[in-house]
Structure 1
């Protein structure tokens, strides 16, 4: 797939900016806080309807404006698509494909595929479980766009159930536990049904990704280290059959019922899952240097690229946000050699000295300053 044009209106610090991409690799050069990352974020939003910065829509709209718009023209083997995402400071976002408004945002997903790799991704190793859940969910949305709807359903039930628990938290001691338990049963059933769909898809995705990432990791580390990725769901997953997962879910809810009622929050479900990353059977967070952690993240990103390409039958875009400065020359070369012209790549950097002349000669170079992009 090839991103031909990107048009930003009132998005982040861009007033009105149109970019035409003329090469497989585009290098965006500029000082910090000029808008380089914002441009990559716009592409990421078109691919996943999510931002790894986790910003609210109102934060994406330029200061003083009510509406922002991202429009792109994308060429795929099946033809050319026009994508439009409209963001509102006060109101719901909307999407359009080839000029036609879509009622379901899910139908917008899967048209453009992209893998984002930024310096923030080191939090995949160092940060808490939420970082890894968000990473896995973003990948799954691209592999299986219906997953966005499944996750939304689960989060909706979770919010409702939490509100119920919070509301009745103080009354548990007075009325005893039984009346509360009866009313909760309705939410329990919905939580188990929607949560099971999330768990099974996460499990399937990790099973597909883990061997690919391990192979990349062995390649980059010179086979001196073994990467293991394991999905550790909050609900026991001995079988991947829906009925069995659902039953395990309900059993665990019953076990934690008293604790949930006193704490006023849901303690069981995929919002508490973990993705365990280990190098040579030692948790990666405790293991070795930043260089080794960067190798792990690089292996994960290369595995994402490969898996998406296998599933969608076309290479996704690669968005590299100020990441080359984070990698030593060996890892830089591993990454750049893998990319070649196989993946359309947008790279942000503060200076061009990270690139050899061959790369510079074959890349489109754009300069970004205060929300304006120029060729010189």
Structure 2
């Protein structure tokens, strides 16, 4: 799989750009601020419908423009596909595949698969749990695009349940002596005519239990998929980290769920096992019940995949707080390369590998070992500020250099 052509209109700093690409290694070379990362960000957007730099689409549209358009011609097993995406802040984005409009933007997922590593990926080791959850879920969707719909369904159920908890929190905080409507004062809970506080609480609880079941059902599916993914990813991580770091210290990842501590399912998950989906659904419901009072008091959902984390360790120590800067880089690279090799194994073809400003952050040994690891990939896109940052072995007979200057992209002879 590779990108043959990338076309941008009003994307980031580009009023317009047409970039021809080829299999092998392509180096986008230029000083900082010239637009190199904007190009690979656009390629990543085609693959994931998201940016590795910002959470919202607004900044992707060039200042003063109403929308941005990204077009990508993708070659897979000799067949070409054209993906067209229109990014419209504040409105629904549009997607076309081979010039046919798609009902949902996510229907184009899977046309291009990519793995992108950027300096922001240090957050996989040093950052918040949300970064590690996103890593797992993005890889899950790259592996099987149908999980995009499951993620969307889970986010919707989470929002609905969270809104109910927040709306009903005043009912649980109100003094139990509050009587029927009108008897609790202006600052008390607003009850319907003739309704007691106990009746209002019972109604809210009944509605909440419906959302409990919905969250547990979808959450169990997502949790099950994450656990299977992590089980398959571990051996690739260990090998990638060992090669990049040239160290025999084992790298490991452990899933930390929000299930009730000490429960059979929580213990199994932490041991690297994958309980059945129905077991996970029941465990989520039991865990929700165990924190019911806390959720009612705080008005937030405390159990589910949205509260989970990955523990990344080197030897017996957590990487966060203990790993050196070089070790952290090697771990983050190892996680991305593990994802690449897992996709290569599953798909029978290489996803596009993007290395955004990576080599400048590595010492000479890690540079050479990384270059050796990626030299046989079908297509590698590399951004660099200076030519010296890129190992010579990556610019062999098939390598090409594109000079990027203030939004102009020119192939070097």
Superposition pairs of residues 160-179 of structure 1, within 5 angstroms:
160-174=160-174, 175=197, 177-179=201-203
The alpha-carbon distance between structure 1 residues 357 and 142, as it changes in their structure 2 partners (threshold 3 A), is closer
Q: Which moved more, 1:213-222 or 1:269-278?
A: 213-222
Decide which moves more: 177-186 or 354-363: 354-363
**Where does residue 246 of structure 1 map in the other structure?**
281
Secondary structure at the residue paired with 1:32?
coil
Report the Cα distance in structure 2 between the residues aligned to 1:210 and 1:73, rounded to whole angstroms: 33
1:280-295 mapped onto 2 (5 Å cutoff):
280-295=315-330
Residue 189 of structure 1 deviates from its aligned partner by 0.8
The aligned residue for residue 190 of structure 1 is: 214
Q: How far apart, CA to CA, are the structure 2 residues paired with 1:146 and 1:84? A: 20
Change (3 A) 1:106 1:178: same
Give CA-to-partner distance per residue, 1:353-376, whole Å, 9 cap, x none: 123445345421112222222235
Alpha-carbon distance in 2 for matches of 1:101, 1:356: 42
Please state how far the C-alpha of 1:349 moved relative to its aligned partner: 0.9
Q: Which residue among 236, 239, 243 is the counterpart of 1:215? A: 239
Instruction: Select which of 216, 219, 225 maps to 2:249.
Output: 225
1:127 alignment partner in structure 2: 127
Structure possessing the higher radius of gyration over alpha carbons:
2
Q: Distance in 2 between matches of 1:323 and 1:331?
A: 11
| Matching residue of 1:180 | 204
Aligned to 1:344: 379
* In structure 2, distance between residues paired with 1:183 and 1:357: 63
Which stretch of structure 1 is more off in the superposition, 21-30 or 225-234?
21-30
Is the CA contact (8 Å cut-off) linking 1:73 and 1:83 kept in structure 2? yes
CA RMSD of aligned residues (A): 1.6
**Offset of 1:221 from its aligned partner?**
3.5
Compute the displacement of 1:25 (Å). Answer: 1.1
8 Å contact kept, 1:5–1:18: yes
- Partners of 1:353 and 1:220 in 2: how far apart? 20
- What does 1:1-376 align with in structure 2 at a 5 Å threshold? 1-77=1-77, 79-174=79-174, 175=197, 177-235=201-259, 236-237=265-266, 238=268, 240-362=275-397, 363-375=399-411
Task: Write the distance in 2 (CA, Å) between the matches of 1:222 and 1:360.
Answer: 23
**SS at 1:225's partner residue?**
coil
Q: Within 1, Cα distance between the matches of 2:381 and 2:391? A: 16
Measured in 2, the distance between the counterparts of 1:257 and 1:331 equals: 49
8 Å contact from structure 1 (residues 154, 194) kept in 2: yes
Runs of 4+ displaced beyond 4 Å: none
CA–CA distance in 2 between the matches of 1:54 and 1:194? Answer: 27
Contact 2:244 2:370 in 1 (8 A): no
Check the 8 A contact 1:23/1:364 in 2, yes or no: no
Distance 2:73 2:44 in 1: 14
Which runs of no fewer than 5 residues in structure 1 stay unpaired?
none
CA distance, structure 2, for counterparts of residue 259 and residue 371 of structure 1: 53
1:335-368 Cα shifts (integer Å, max 9, x gaps): 1111114231111111111234453454211122
Q: Using a 3 Å threshold, how does the CA distance of structure 1 residues 23 and 157 change in structure 2: closer, same or farther?
A: closer
Q: Is the 8 A contact 1:217 1:295 kept in 2?
A: yes
Q: Output the CA distance in 2 between the equivalents of 1:217 and 1:85.
A: 35
Rounded to whole Å, the distance in 1 between the matches of 2:286 and 2:332 is 36
Following superposition, the deviation at residue 139 of structure 1 comes to 0.7
